[in-house]
Structure 1
Amino acid sequence: MKTSIKKAALRSATCLTLAGALNPATVWAQDTEASAKAEPESTAIIVTGSRIRHDTFTSPEPLTVITRDSMTEQGFNSTTDALQSSSVTQGGSQINNFYGGYVVDGGTGVNTIGLRGLGPTRTLVLLNGHRLAPAGTRGAVGAVDLNTIPTTAVDRVEVLKAGASSIYGSDAVAGVINIITDNKFTGFKLDAQVNVPEIGTGLDRRLSGLFGAKGDNWNFNVSVDWRKRNAVSMGDVDFTKCPIGGYLDGQGTAFGANDYIDPNTGEPKCFTLDNGGVTINTIGVRTREGQDRLTGETGYYNRFVPDASVTGGATPGYAGVDYYTRDSFDPDMLKEPLVTPVETLNVFAQGSYQLNALGNAELYSEFLYSNRKSSSPLYRQLTLDYAVGSPLVPELFRNTAYLNPTAVSNGELVALRSFIGFGLLDSSQNVDFYRAASGLRGDTGLSDWRYDLYGSYSWSKARYSTATFLTSRVAQSLNVVDNGDGTFSCVDTSNGCVAAPVVDAASVGGNLSQAYRDFITQTVTGSTKTAEYIGSLNLDGSLFQLPGGIAKAALGLEYRHSHLDDQPPAESVAGDLYNLTSAAPTVGSDEVWEVYGEVYLPVLANMPGVYNLNFDASGRYTHYRSYGGEWTYKGSVEYAPVRGVTFRGSYGTSYRAPALFEQYLGATSGFLSSSYDPCDNYADSKNLILKANCAAAGLPADFEQKNGVSVYGGGGSSTGLKAETSKNLSLGIILQPVLPQSVGKLSVSLDYFNIEINNGVQRVGGSNIANLCYGSANFNPDAGYCRYVSRDANNALTVIDNYVNVATQKTQGFEFNLRYLRDIGPGEFQFETQVTKFTKQSTALGSNDAEIDYNNTIATPEWTGTFDASYKIGPVKFRYGLDWIKGTGDHTYTVLATDSLTGEVNQDNLELYKYYYKLQTPDYFLHSASIQWDVNDEFEFTIGVRNLTNAKLPRISADTYSLVGNTPLYSGYDYTGRTFFANVTAKY
């Protein structure tokens, strides 16, 4: 790897000094050694966050640099993994391969990045200074899929953690990530890596090649990266094999002390409906007398299981079950992926040619192709609604309506609902992404002013397939005639219809014929296409001499046109996906014209009390076809009163029109199963917060939801969705004392950041809205998330889930960086740390709603830190790293118990609703270590281990957060456990 590092140093002598060569680092406002002698103009560089070429690699704002070698040392097998690490994300949750069973923007398998916890649509991703286009599946494609980024061609990544909308455009609200490739490499490099989890599955391997050549006036290189990561299933790790409710019965009590106890084990029951389970092997009928499954005592039930031992009573052959005694686990559930599998192929080519014309112009070009194949098999429950009078229903239940008379299924009154465990159904994604870019840059002939004329075209084609039940076929199979010989046939046999099974122990237990399974299921396929055109012209050069140096400026204009076309499966458009949401096509386009300017003013230098004083100001006018125009601006200052002490600050604004999918997402309508109503059978739940809120909403104590949950949603362009605006403030101090060589080199920085977004665009999710409404400790049926929830006369639940404008979103905090280098003995020691403290991460949903601060809660930690130490002796380097996420601490939640009729607070019951959940998580530490050995600059070997201590994952109570097992769904945790890695690089 030394060769590529040396070449990088030739392009920017200060880059390695400030970036720490092989480790993540912060670029400081001023490098005291490099400032003494400026580089010649021909080697001036552009640092992320500015359009102006500078002589030194400096930044007036926090800028983290990650080199390709540091990715290898830390065991990251791709650029994707490195970008989603703690040093970049600072604890913010990212969409990665942990989200296989969830609906995410961009579709299953997508990997995205968002800075400061503000989401991927507010973080701009660049490749060599120019924006990358989004890619993915389904209608909500709006962010860059990190899977499209090459790995072996990357030289370094610059991460600007400050708003830069006036420099780069509207979506640079939280910051900018600039992936910079090595365009000077010559020769051939082969790079291979394998990551092997200790659990024995989830193998992750990559094979990469890089070829480069150059002549007197040209250079060219091409890289190929292939990666395949195997799945990790729920049954492969211990912490997902037995999820429980995890309820407490008082402060300080054992986890699960108030759970339902399985009489067979004496321990809390796994996979209850509280956490991970789903009703199977069960029928639902009108409430009636029956014998209890466990005790044999007589009671009243609306859920029964086939039981041949029950020979008498009102329901012979069936035993009654309640919320916890019904079956809710199938071994196939453990086959669902905890980490979804993925295979990617990336091809990246770049080159340049000196024309010796048009101002000594250089013609440069890039081409990127990426293919991603991913999948996620999911467990499905099949519910069959048998009509009143159906010959398939036992005589005992045949002629009594189970659902309310006004609630029908397939146009018929329902006598019986069979809850069947069907098994795994697969889904898959295949995404092709292309990007072709070319530019011309050279001298204008006016002093040292240069021009850069650039254009690119990006497009993606994706197909996504899902095996699912078809509503029409399920209904067709239930409409049968009795053949008189114990068999039944469909009334409509035109398409080879197979009759639904008779309700008996076999069919309820999931023993369905293959012919019936094949008839009601079908693999449906949709397609997503995106396209983006970009054209830009940038001019930069010197203006005039100031006491502190030469004033410089940049001017430019940019045009972008983007298009999104998602065509869901025809069955989805027709609403024919059983118990899944229907979706209309999403088709939309937008274009934007922008003009910008930036000026750099080195006002004073080398004066008493003013070692350095620099100003930078930028402005941009943005005009969207869809949302009109708006100005944004930014100003920054660097002030060093003496050498080694620098104060820096910036303030800027942004204007972001909603992304295409936020504007035009096709209308969706569908039904979640009745179990998605949080108040379904709430009287049997251990969740006391939920019980109080459902009662306060006026639902009877014996409420059972017999209807599906209706969810309606879509884009916001037709409902008054507004553009969002934001303000970004950053203040900092940098200390770089001049120390004796024997002491070493020390650099320290402390920065304060404050970002406020107004009219932020957000979609919450139907199930989440319902849970957030009824799970709130400050329940108000007419405010907050409950404003999007309603019930009809039969208490059927409807949720509206459009993209809406969140009134205000705020993020505030401090970031501390330290780097220390010193020669110790025969080698060099280097230590770096980055610690972030958030003081606020809040949201107010509406202008009249209270601000809710999520800081110091799960997935929004108050403190995060990364620590990195290395020692290099000759060709051998030893590294140790630590990622730290502060736990959430102790939380006590009090719910006021209200009378369901009067709404008055019942003060006598307050203590019942106090500290019922375990919501706190301990500090999480992820250790890693590696050894790297350089052999004659031709071979490099790296071996190491990630998650060295096999860190234990936290456990929290159910009904409070999206979980895997009892662990929060959070990208900051390592679900695969201790993993060994090995990398070999050969150069020729």
Structure 2
Amino acid sequence: MLKQDVISPTRNYTGYLSATYDTGFFGDGQLYSELLITRRKSQQNGQRQLTLDYAPNSPLLLAANGGLFTTQPRRVNSAIGIRTFADYGIYDSSQTQDFVKFSVGFRGDLPFLPTWRYDFYANKSWADGTYSFEQILADRLAQSLNVRLVNAAGTPITTPGATIANTPGARFACVVTIGNCVPAPAISNAIIGGQARTAAAAWFDYVTDDVVGHTSFRETTFNATFDGPLFRLPGGDAQAVVGFEYRKSSINDVPSSDAQRNNLYNFTSAPITKGSDSVWEAFTELEFPVLRNVPFADELTFNASGRFTHYESYGSDTTYKIGGKWAPTRWLAFRGSYGTSYRAPALYEQFLGSTTGFLSAQSTDPCTSLFNVTNQTIVANCLADGLPNNFINNGSTTVIQQGGAAAGLEAETSKNLTFGTVIQPTFGPAFGNLSLAIDYFRIEVNNGVSQLGAGALARGCYDGTRPEYCQFVVRAPYTGSGTGQLTITQSYINVATDMVKGIDFTLRYDRELGPGKLDLGINAVRVIDRVNQNDPNFAATHFEGSIGNPKWAGTGHVGYDWGPWYARWGVEFIGKSSDNFLVDPADYPSNVYDFSVKDYWLHTFALRYEPSNRYSLTAGVRNVFDKKPPKITAEDPFVNTISNIPLQSGWDFRGRTFFINAQAKIF
């Protein structure tokens, strides 16, 4: 397990080219273009379990054939004789991502309105990815476990009681030999101990293969923007921006053929995800400098913006933002804004291909053990489906996961409120320049895109609280015992609500000191509340102060600039947090489980040498004091862990690292 990658190693290649040409045409128009080409290659080592099911009475179980049992053991069920839970060992995954973006535009002053400017812009981007990972192929595994004894010539041995031990030259061969089948190894300590890769190398190579998938993404954009003054106000010219934009994007994700036909052992199928969407937008932004440099109004400015959006897949919506700034003096200002936003679901959320899995009906079917159900609405709806009073579902529920386009998935919407103050006292050159900004924010996302669990969908339908869920729940006709099974479609739908509010602090200070200039900066955030509700049938959960959602976090730095040199000491801070308040103490007693972490500080030092604006060299060390990430009890149900370390951003998993960066402008 120590050979697993926590952070994916990557290699990144980037090429960038830009050019401009002054045409002197149409208001001194300038033709400009950019080309960006990148390639990212990544590779990870992972660890997983190897589960092997030996059939009842399989000759691979007997000690006389190299197995572990002198007689056939008691079977697990009619299909499984012995099930082994072994270590697969390290498996490899790799990805290659190529991205190309070409942009071209023409900008200048409008000839018939010279105080206004225009910008016509278009771009086309291509993203192509290839992903590969080592997998066990289910059909090859099943074929390899279906074996029989043959002699040296390959002829099947039919003598009753024959084994490798009592039959010279006997060996195992696959019953179905197509595809150069390699028989599975007999059960042994080496196989159980996770040494299949070396103990049975030929078989392991036969049942495993690198499966490869491909993803392509395309996007085309056209944009036209105009900006300029409208009229004169006491504080200056009122300004306006007006623009139009068209975007079209498409995705085509093609997993390997084995993934598509559900031939990856212990993995669900992965179908093709393919679709496209387009959007037209019109937008404007207005700024009105009402007053400037008058008593009690060093500045008074209002601004407003709006956007109309029409998606081919969802229809239309409008968003807006209004704001303002009032500075009664030069050293004190108040500002605020309120707006709405709109996020169309990603192509993946819309067009994810259908995958099928199975869950226990005991946890997903509200009608099972109907004679014990006390909710009369559930009972009535179950009986209306033709189920008897004594219905028991001992089978499984079919769960289909797919994108939400067919179910009428809509866009997320949000409301954003901010207000605060900026303080910039002037104490003279000897003191330096100081500014402090304090801003309150509240962001609420409604109609959030999410996937509900199969059980939540079925219960919401049958108990009548969420009748709209019934479109995702289908019951087969009941004709007797073992019938009446459920099929539930888990689609992306609009149900989630998220809200966060807090206070941002930004402090800046600089002054001349000695031969150079000292600068200091601090950015901090205090989260007052963070709420999430994925299922409307359950109360919202407050996550502020939990792991990954600290109440306090921030960054800071001290720098000194002299001549071509710049030295910087940076600090990152994550406040203490805990998931103890989220769990039930009866299930996670505090004397056994501890899901809390202490304050975390990370320090970085860098030194830059820049003799001109064409060349620079930077070297430094990240995590100067080699700070280790925090540890918790591994069974925290709210975070993923590796060993006892929660996987959350902000904590350094590499330890102390050194870096060097060189930059040069060729043209």
Instruction: Find the residue that maps to 1:495 and give its secondary structure.
Output: coil
Structure 2 equivalent of residue 807 of structure 1: 496
Partner of 2:219: 532
CA change 1:456–1:336 in 2 (3 A) is same
Give 1:595 deviation, angstroms.
Answer: 0.8
Q: Deviations over 1:344-399 (max 9, x none)?
A: 11111111101100111000101111111111122232212122232222366747
User: Which of 651, 655, 661 is 2:348 aligned to?
Assistant: 661
Q: Give the conservation status (yes or no) of the 8 Å contact 2:628–2:652.
A: no
Q: After the TM superposition, which of the residue ranges 751-760 and 926-935 deviates more from structure 2?
A: 926-935
Q: Distance in 2 between matches of 1:536 and 1:937?
A: 32
Decide whether aligned partners of structure 1 residues 799 and 381 sit closer, same or farther in structure 2, where only a CA change above 3 A counts. Answer: farther
Q: Distance in 2 between matches of 1:709 and 1:886?
A: 43
- In structure 2, what is the equivalent of residue 883 of structure 1? 572
Matched residue type, 1:381: Q
Q: Find the partner of 1:869 among 558, 577, 583.
A: 558
Counterpart contact for 2:402–2:489, Cα < 8 Å: no
- Tell me the residue number matched to 1:401: 75
Q: Structure 1 residue 977 and structure 2 residue 637: aligned?
A: no
1:518 is the counterpart of 2:518: no
Match of 2:619, SS state, is strand
On the 8 A contact 2:33/2:103 being kept in 1, the answer is yes
Displacement of 1:831? 1.0
Residue in 1 that maps onto 2:28: 360
SS at 1:376's partner residue?
A: strand
Q: In structure 2, give the amino acid aligned to 1:456.
A: N
Q: How does 1:256-655 map to 2 (within 5 A)?
A: 333-394=1-62, 398=72, 400-403=74-77, 413-445=79-111, 446-483=113-150, 484=157, 486=164, 487-509=171-193, 510-511=195-196, 512-655=199-342
How far did 1:936 drift?
6.9
- Contact 1:892-1:914 at 8 Å conserved across structures: no
String of CA shifts for 1:463-484, please: whole Å, max 9, x gaps.
1111110111111112222334
Determine the C-alpha separation between the residues in 2 that align with 1:711 and 1:517: 32
Cα distance in 2 for residues equivalent to 1:425 and 1:891? 35
Q: TM-score scaled to structure 1, two decimals? A: 0.56
Aligned to 1:947: 623
Shift of the 915–648 alpha-carbon distance from structure 1 to 2, 3 Å rule, reads farther
Corresponding position of 1:858: 547
CA distance in 2, matches of 1:629, 1:602: 32
- Corresponding position of 2:602: 926
- Structure 2 letter corresponding to 1:951: K
Cα shift at 1:401: 3.4
Summarize the Cα distance change of 1:649–1:663 in structure 2 as closer, same or farther, 3 Å threshold: same
Q: In the TM superposition, what whole-angstrom CA distance separates every residue of 1:107-131 from its partner, at most 9, and x where no partner exists? A: xxxxxxxxxxxxxxxxxxxxxxxxx
2: CA distance between counterparts of 1:890 and 1:583? Answer: 34
Unaligned runs of 5+ in 2: 63-68, 151-156, 158-162, 165-170, 364-393, 457-464, 474-480
Secondary structure in structure 2 of the residue aligned to 1:596: strand
Compute the displacement of 1:666 (Å).
1.1
In structure 2, give the amino acid aligned to 1:402. V
User: Does the CA contact (< 8 Å) of 1:942 and 1:982 recur in 2?
Assistant: yes
CA deviation after TM superposition for structure 1 residue 710, in Å: 7.9
Residues 505-553 of structure 1: CA distance to partner in whole angstroms, max 9, x if unpaired? 3433334422111111111111101000100111111110011110111
Mapped partners of 1:335, 1:811: distance in 2: 38
CA distance 1:850–1:828, change in 2 (3 Å): same
Distance change >3 Å, CA 529–CA 765, structure 1 → 2: farther
| Alignment partner, residue 153 of structure 2 | none
How much does 1:414 deviate?
A: 1.1
Q: How many aligned positions are there?
A: 587
TM-score (norm 2): 0.82
How big is each residue's C-alpha offset from its partner over 1:752-783, in whole Å with a ceiling of 9 and x where there is no partner?
Answer: 111100011135899xx99xxxxxxxxxxx99
Larger RCO of the pair (alpha carbons < 8 Å, separation 6+): 1
Residues 745, 822 of structure 1: 8 Å contact kept: yes
> 1:673-700 CA deviation, whole Å, 9 max, x = no partner?
x9xx9xxxxxxxxxxxxxxxxxxxxxxx
SS in 2 for 1:648: strand
Q: Is the partner of 2:348 in helix, strand or coil? A: helix
Q: CA deviation at 1:930?
A: 2.7
- Aligned AA (2:417): L
Relative to structure 1, the CA distance from residue 371 to residue 873 in structure 2 (aligned partners, 3 Å threshold; closer, same or farther) is closer
1:809-847 CA-partner distances (Å, limit 9, x unpaired):
001111011111122333322111111111122111233
1:500 counterpart letter in structure 2: A
8 Å CA contact 2:634–2:645 kept in 1: the answer is no
Q: What is the aligned partner in structure 1 of residue 431 from structure 2?
A: 743
Specify whether residues 967 and 709 from structure 1 end up closer, same or farther in structure 2 by C-alpha distance, changes over 3 A only. Answer: farther
Q: Which amino acid aligns with 2:496?
A: A
Change (3 A) 1:616 1:936: closer
Q: Once the 2 structures are TM-superposed, how far is the Cα of residue 941 of structure 1 from its aligned partner?
A: 4.2
Letter in 1 for 2:629: L
Counterpart of 2:191 in 1: which secondary structure? helix
C-alpha distance in 2 between matches for 1:355 and 1:934 = 35
CA distance in 1, matches of 2:347, 2:500: 25
- Native 8 Å contact 1:583 1:669 kept in 2: no
For 1:450 and 1:392, the matched residues in 2 are separated by 80
Cα 1:488/1:984, change in 2 over 3 Å: closer
Which of the numbers 823, 827, 831 marks the counterpart of 2:520?
831
RMSD: 3.2
Paired with 1:958 and 1:923, the residues of 2 have a C-alpha distance of 19
In 2, the alpha carbon distance for the partners of 1:797 and 1:857 equals: 37
Distance change in 2, residues 1:592/1:516 (3 Å): same
Taking the aligned partners of 2:47 and 2:486, their CA distance within structure 1 comes to 24
Mean CA deviation greater in 712-721 or 953-962: 712-721
Identity of aligned residues (%): 41
Structure 1 unaligned spans of 5+: 1-332, 406-412, 678-705, 771-781, 898-909
Cα 1:344–1:495 shift into 2, 3 Å: same
Larger Rg computed on CA atoms: 2
Distance in 2, Cα, partners of 1:919 & 1:653: 37
Letter in 2 for 1:586: T
Within 5 Å, which residues of 2 pair with 1:704-715?
712-715=400-403
Tell me the residue number matched to 2:373.
none
CA distance in 1 between partners of 2:306 and 2:351 (Å): 29
Take 1:378 and 1:569, find their aligned partners in 2: how far apart are those partners? 20
Larger relative strand fraction? 2
